Structure 1
Amino acid sequence: MSSPSATNAPRAFWAGRVLAFAGIALVAFSMRSAVAGLSPLIPAINETFELNTFAISLLGAIAPLSFAAGGIFTPRIEKKIGLERTLIVGLILMISGHLIRALSVNWQTLALGTLVALMGMGFANVAMPPVVRKYFPDRVSTLTSVYMSIMAVSAFLPALIAVPVSEVVSWRGSLAQWSIFALVALIPWIIEYRRHGREKITGVTDEAHVARQAHPWRSPTAWAIGAVLAVSSITGYAMYAWMPVILIDIAGVTPAQSGALLALFTGMGLPLAFLTPGIAKRMGRHAHWLVTISSVFFVAGYLGLLFVPTHATWVWVAVVGIGCLEFPLSMLLINVRTESQRSAMAVSGFAQIVAYLSAAIAPGVMGALFNLSGTWTVVLTTLMIISVVVNVPAALILRRNRSVDQELARH
């Protein structure tokens, strides 16, 4: 199996790539602001126009559905207009969505703006792994660590500053501020498109052309990558939706403490984003063990919450958060288990369809399980079982150390 690091000799980090690095960093910083920057403002928005339970539920469901749609449409769009222009379109959607939300006059326009912004972020989700491969083929793990770390910051910073900014410039200004960062991110990608956007994609071998001819669903490795990403996404969206309520019920924490514990869960993403790709690179062909290790953390965390929830609650929450190391791992696997930029784009789209469609239904299923059983034990046990039943086969497939291109070439 080839990998970017194996087939490309390292060169000076900044050699001709300063703008690309800036563009990757700025896009990464813009990729979660529409998700994290809205919910803290709901009380303030509700003073301007009513947000009923249905509206709030719909706003929460838009994110994973938009990201899944990004997996469907982004590879097709990229084939027609190229990688740089795909990112440019995504950024324009982000800017437009942020502004529509800031100018919204009812929950319908707020939902429309959220949908537009998140569609743009869905495009960026899928495009980022192949962008890293194209501009930094010799430093895939390093750049994956960088942009995943910045994404982790973009997941908690908007929630942290949304209310303080709204108190100064109103909730509309707080929502609109994120359009500025997306606008700035446009600049390097417009320049890069003028420089390189019309160039023929390099590094596409005859074997890698099978990504155009056979869909990734025929590849066990592509399914394994999607499954790894799905477990992390299901856990994340289920916890975002239900963790505060669960902890109040089973651990007896206050609402303020439950919010802090959710922040702890989310904050674990930063060190994981920074460390996981490098660790996976050092493990090489044995990186599949990280999938098994993540299951160990999930099981330990859920067992702690099930049996001793009132003791060391923060430890169990942090341990479950560590299990989500699969998110940055899956982003790296998209590149190291493919053989070209084209293959990476196809697998990125496929994996995110699998993951985010699963994540979209997770909060509703968890709520239904609680309503049927009347206890959070069933919910936590289900999440624990998913983390094992899905991860173990994925790890066994990844253990074969095959690329998606090798598997598709057999069809």
Structure 2
Amino acid sequence: MIERMPSPRNFPEPSLPLWRGRFLVFAGILLVALNMRLAVAGLSPIIPLIQQDFPLSIFAISFLGFIAPLCFALGGIFTPKIARRAGLEYTVVIALTLIIIGHILRATAANWGGLSVGTFLALLGMGFGNVLMPPLVKKYFPDRIPLMTSLYMTLVAISSLLPPLIAVPLSHSISWRGFLGQWGIIAVLALIPWIIEISRNRSAAKAAALAATTEVHPDHVAIWRSSTAWAIAIILAVSSINGYAMFAWMPIILSDISNVSLVQAGALLGVFAAMGAPFALILPMIAARVRRVDYLVHIATACFLVGYAGLIFFPTQATLLWVIIAGSGPLLFPLALVMVNLRTRTPRTSMALSGFATTIAYVVALSGPPALGMLFSVTGNWTAALIFLTVISLSGSAAGIVLARQRIVDDELVRPIS
């Protein structure tokens, strides 16, 4: 039975209207969230259409799937450093600019190299956004952490599910270049509130940036000494390696083992991604109110195990069911991100933990797409690849046991990040 989290919690009770004095930031955070996965899930369903213009080998497809976790890992490494010098708001602008440039380059690519560079830049901007979102919420909405996490994670989920659902039909209608390029419009829209916010508060922003540059930061604090930080990083890693492996290969896997068409496989990938939306909405609220968050981690692990087992043993029967169950496993993703704020005391600790967890998670996730491609090349079927993901998923339960201790990262460090 799930027990309720006792008060007091590690964040203040709601005391202000959601948008009083912070409407621009509210809109800005949600618009950034809507950009966070548009360049990830929409590419694999249209690979055959791109191949009509220029060749893409198994290596090339694997590399395109490899770029997402690589960029998100780089985001975990570099975003905290940039944000300390430029400030959170200016770093958001940098991230969105990279996304816009990336979308343009992808839409105009003449070969695999151009497509890869555009994908890299777009996903690097999204990697910056991954790290920025928790500290932005911590800074501007400390009284609404579960609610804001639910809202932005729901939009992240929508940005994952929408592209694969419409990828093939829209690419046939406006070309694959038009399909990839259109997402830049949303990134341009996301820039507007941040530019206005920075312009309205230019003096304060400059003072904050100067303080951030001259202040002595406790970079030597070893956040890796926190077992809670490692547990959060591991559950984020389990979610990420499964998610990006499926984004890269699920349409091809299902086409091979389940006898579905390319359009149906793209739709099923959309279903897989869509399962994140309801969990993104409710998980942060639940995690803020229950004591035993490890139960949620164990449920997610079980979803991966059952979903992949179904695809291995009954691939042509109840395919939609197995995709839905496996797609429920990434409930670990919103859980990990809300824990970044619920298990820290300050925005700076939140930033440090967000960068640490993101780096670890996506360094691990780097192995996903190429590992699945390699296992298929060696065995000639997808069984070994699905078993690989099943074994990886089991590590989530061990991390859940650590989270059950309910410790705060700051308290586990030799010196808190204040």
Q: Taking structure 2 as the reference length, what is the TM-score of the superposition? A: 0.87
- Displacement after TM superposition at 1:74 (Å): 0.3
Residue 183 (structure 1) shift = 1.3
1:273 aligns with 2:274: no
Q: Which string of whole-angstrom CA distances, capped at 9 and with x for unpartnered residues, describes residues 168-202 of structure 1?
A: 5544333332222111211111222242534659x
* 1:53 CA displacement: 4.0
Match of 1:197 among 182, 186, 205: 205
**Equivalent position SS for 1:6:** coil
Matched, 1:217 2:224: yes
2:300 corresponds to which of 294, 298, 302: 294
Secondary structure at the counterpart of residue 35 of structure 1: coil
2:253 and 2:233 map into 1 onto residues whose CA distance is 28
Query: Which of the numbers 57, 67, 74 marks the counterpart of 1:69?
Result: 74
Q: Identical aligned pairs, as a percentage?
A: 51
How has the CA–CA distance of structure 1 residues 3 and 131 changed in structure 2, closer, same or farther, with 3 Å as cutoff?
Answer: farther
Q: Is the 8 A contact 2:10 2:345 kept in 1?
A: no
- Amino acid corresponding to residue 333 of structure 1 in structure 2: M
- CA distance 1:24–1:42, shift in 2 (3 Å): same
**SS of match in other structure, 1:212:** coil
Residue of structure 1 in register with 2:326 after alignment: 320
Please show how residues 74-85 of structure 1 align to structure 2 within 5 Å.
Answer: 74-85=79-90
Distance 1:301 1:159 in 2: 20
For 2:243, the equivalent position in structure 1 comes to 236
Which residue of 1 is the match for residue 19 of structure 2? 14
Separation in 1, partners of 2:405, 2:207:
35
Equivalent residue pairs, number: 403
In structure 2, C-alpha distance between the alignment counterparts of 1:47 and 1:410, rounded to whole Å: 57
Equivalent in the alignment of 2:212? none
Closer, same or farther in 2 for the Cα pair 1:212/1:320, shift >3 Å?
A: same
Given candidates 246, 261, 268, the residue that maps to 1:261 is 268
Evaluate the alpha carbon distance shift between residue 219 and residue 372 of structure 1 in structure 2; reply closer, same or farther with a 3 A threshold. same
Q: CA deviation at 1:264?
A: 1.9
The answer to whether 1:95 aligns with 2:100 is: yes
- 1:60 is aligned to 65
Whole-angstrom distance in 1 between the partners of 2:392 and 2:164: 29
Q: Is the 8 A contact 1:292 1:395 kept in 2?
A: yes
| Shift in CA distance, 338/87, structure 1 to aligned 2, threshold 3 Å | same
Show CA shifts across 1:350-397 (max 9, x none).
Answer: 111111111111122233334445554433333222222x12221121
Change (3 A) 1:241 1:103: closer
Whether the 8 Å contact between 2:250 and 2:269 is mirrored in structure 1 is: yes
CA RMSD of aligned residues (A): 2.8
Partner AA of 1:79 in structure 2: R
Larger displacement relative to structure 2 (235-244 or 129-138): 235-244
Q: 1:17/1:186 Cα in 2 relative to 1: closer, same or farther (>3 Å)?
A: same
Instruction: Verify the 8 A CA contact 1:5 1:139 in the aligned structure 2.
Output: no
Q: CA deviation at 1:9?
A: 4.7
Which has a greater percent of helix? Answer: 1
> Aligned residue for 1:350?
356
3-state SS of 1:36 partner: coil
**Partner Cα distance (2:18, 2:334) in 1:** 21
**What's the TM-score once normalised by structure 1's chain length?**
0.89
Shift in CA distance, 338/259, structure 1 to aligned 2, threshold 3 Å: same
Q: Is the CA contact (8 Å cut-off) linking 1:23 and 1:185 kept in structure 2?
A: yes
SS at match of 2:327: helix
C-alpha distance in structure 1 between counterparts of 2:289 and 2:378, whole Å = 46
Q: Could you say if the C-alpha distance between residues 49 and 371 of structure 1 is closer, same or farther in structure 2, counting changes exceeding 3 Å?
A: closer
